[in-house]
Structure 1
């Protein structure tokens, strides 16, 4: 992680889990390199690090937030393609953070993922696009990223203006 990512990550005292990496074999998935920016908002350090390892193994640039409020702040500083939001966190319920982020969005919509181990939403009316139950698996993350990539507008050719 770079210095600019530190403000989105857990406080130093929260880093009690060991770091690990995850290898995704090209044979396992047809498109393992997605090049998407992903914000993972979860109050549990192990859940954050596991999601980070999965999304990084799939070629994503991952940022971490420890609460709904931290996710709101991160989204005010940077544009993310995907926001994976734990629904139940201190300092701002995940559902409320997604509602606020949806109200702030302009023309280009990002994908919001409701991530929860219990109490899945009856509907996604808070503004979520999809539900991803915990624990997040590589297969579920790859499927999610394939859907996001399919919805994204194509990148302009070098030298062409962005619309």
Structure 2
């Protein structure tokens, strides 16, 4: 991690992924950037965490058992339309094709990063989406 990827402000990040290795990688990258993370393992847990706490941004895996990331994103955006605060969401996906990006944007995603998560790409997307 280069010093240029160190954030000017610390973000509170919710990370939702069913893979423990992906959770550890995201946690390490976020910590190196100066951010803190709360970890959950599926979309339903992500929605529960978002209802209980405020986060600057969510890293939301697209493919998870139970409630997947796309379903959780749609539910989050529906809650926000009903008066909840807007939360930035960066989708994490193994599918990095233009049509995949369009589908995620149409569902309400603010950004996306491909798996495996690359530190430079994550830092750039966090900066673009939330200015950190």
Return 119-128 or 97-106, whichever deviates more. 119-128
Q: Deviations for 1:119-140, whole angstroms, at most 9, x for unmatched residues?
A: 7525111110112101111101
Alignment partner, residue 88 of structure 1: 63
Q: Secondary structure at the match of 2:38?
A: strand
The answer (yes or no) to whether the contact 2:91–2:113 under 8 Å persists in 1 is yes
Are 2:27 and 1:46 aligned? no
Structure 2's unaligned 5+ residue stretches are: none
TM-score (norm 2): 0.85
Quick check: 1:55–1:62 contact (8 Å CA) kept in 2? yes
| Correspondent of 2:31 among 37, 48, 56 | 56
SS in 2 for 1:112: strand
> How many positions carry a matched residue from both structures?
126
Distance, in Å, in 2 between the alignment partners of 1:94 and 1:118 is: 13
Which structure: greater helix fraction?
Answer: 2
Across the aligned residues of Structure 1 and Structure 2, the Cα RMSD in angstroms comes to 2.0
CA contact (8 A) 1:33 1:60 kept: no
Q: TM-score, normalised by structure 1?
A: 0.70
Give the unaligned 5+ runs of structure 1. Answer: 1-23, 153-163
Q: Which structure ranks higher in relative contact order (CA pairs < 8 Å, sequence separation ≥ 6)?
A: 2
Q: Which has the larger radius of gyration?
A: 1
